[in-house]
A and B are shown apart, each in its own frame.
Chain A
């Protein structure tokens, strides 16, 4: 038993090579390769319809790729069947349960399907998992009466029950309130610090930036970027700021005349959009003050990484619209 475990832990947690999935004429996932090392927190980032969910469904064996291979801890669906998921847990989109059963009954059933026959041990594990996701006290209510966020948390509990080495989460913070998002991120970070490998998908650059080591950015089925968060930071454009003054014309003139590296343009909603390297921005603002232009506001618009995300995924026009 221990030798197989050691052998399995060699190599990648996830190794996706050249995977393609078509729905009729639409190529939902187009020749995507992703490699997740054990212990890593890996983000798959992309706008709606990028193919994140489709990719993760293929990993879980819920849908079959048209071409390409997927290894999970060295196993494949073709060769190992459901044992491919032996060390994997997680959920796709929003987790779903049987509404007529209680939270605990749902977890007990899923424990049965994990092969846990030992009722007492399962009960203890369920208590533990419920405690981690902070659902204690509600576990004997029917899931039909749970809020969206509670179901999301029950989904995490159901995943932890499997004692996985790889946790796959499809937009885990989707639909959660700000406190829920914070808790979810903290939980993922905590689990990762205990050595769990995490593969998560997200719409949000800040989420990926905050918790992931590596990231693949997908756009319309293809990989638009692949690398570490620091690679991504190096590629990021200069930060943009929205400037509001008492005299926009004079402010713009100062920018044009004295600060070649700073772009100053009228912003769509009023005020001025200012982009440029950080130190140039500081001296531009200092000049405005010296020229006694009344300064009302100087606020960053998008973070540079967000800006880069929109550039890579061409989603900018949709976002503005």
Chain B
């Protein structure tokens, strides 16, 4: 690339006249992504998302007695697809919430920890731009982690355990090529509630100004919702819990297939996300930056 293409004449003109435009979302996103890349924790998390599933698959497949009581546990030791679904059921309890919260719960609170709100907010970026840049980066990070976890789990399951036709939830037999699509789709259904968990972590992070609360808050909230969801007689509440969408994939493996819970799950996740982000946005916009 030649250096002349790097020089934007409008930018040069703006500088020469001392003028300046307020910074767009792109620059703020670039900066947030760059800070994230520079942190050891981020890299460790992504490497962990790749390696941990391999270890889990190897350990579970080495068991002489399969975990029969868990969904797809019965076939997990001799069917890779069942193994990948078993790991999904397990991961969605608190691993997925935790992995997303590690970044989303920290991305706002770390500015408080380092006292850097005043550093960035006295440049040319508005609070709302910075807010949306952080939200975008945190959500994308959560999704990247999900893709890595899913990819690593499915690959490890198929390599370690092997592929054979999968027995579905209604006892139907699913051919391997169809099973692969369904397993991948099942993992993908974790994306909407995961985004909602990220937004919840962002709210905790903005509200508490403390990374520990930002990270632990949504994980604890997810665990509480899981507990509430396991109680009897709360059918009216269950569709609104953020843990219910994590189970929506069950419908994909039944015969006939049903996708009602998937649609509900997307709606529930959207409502949680919008509510959490709106609250976080208002708190950040109104806040007096007195620290740092």
Contacts and interface: CB of A to CB of B under 8 A. Distances in A.
Contact of A115 (B27, B119, B120, B289): B27
Contact of A163 (B18, B115, B119): B18
Interface residues of A, number: 46
A169 B38 CA distance: 29
Contact of B31 (A4, A61, A109, A121): A109
A162 B23 CA distance: 13
Interface in A1-47: 1-2, 4-5
B120 A61 contact: no
Contacts, number: 134
B230 interface: no
Interface stretch (B9-17, B167-175, B178-186, B275-283): B9-17
Interface in A153-183: 158, 162-163, 165
Contact of A121 (B12, B115, B122): B12
A115 B20 contact: yes
B17 A5 contact: yes
A76 interface: no
A304 B40 CA distance: 55
A166 to B, nearest CB: 11
A116 B28 CA distance: 11
Given A82-B124, A98-B116, A1 B23 contact: no
Interface residues of B, number: 44
B30 to A, nearest CB: 6
Interface in B212-239: none
B7 A81 contact: no
A1 B22 contact: no
A12 B123 CA distance: 21
A187 interface: no
Contacts of B13: 1
B119 A95 contact: yes
Nearest to B15: A163
A90 to B, nearest CB: 7
B270 to A, nearest CB: 29
B21 interface: yes
Nearest to B14: A1
B119 A112 contact: no
B123 A97 contact: no
Contacts of B18: 5, 87, 163, 165
Given A97-B114, A113-B123, 7 more contacts: A62-B118, A64-B288, A86-B19, A95-B119, A117-B27, A120-B6, A121-B15
Q: Nearest 4 CB-CB pairs, A to B? A: A96-B115, A113-B123, A63-B288, A62-B289
26 contacts: A1-B14, A5-B18, A57-B118, A60-B122, A62-B121, A62-B122, A62-B289, A63-B290, A81-B22, A82-B22, A82-B125, A82-B126, A83-B22, A86-B20, A93-B118, A99-B114, A110-B120, A112-B28, A112-B31, A113-B28, A115-B21, A115-B24, A117-B11, A117-B27, A118-B8, A121-B15
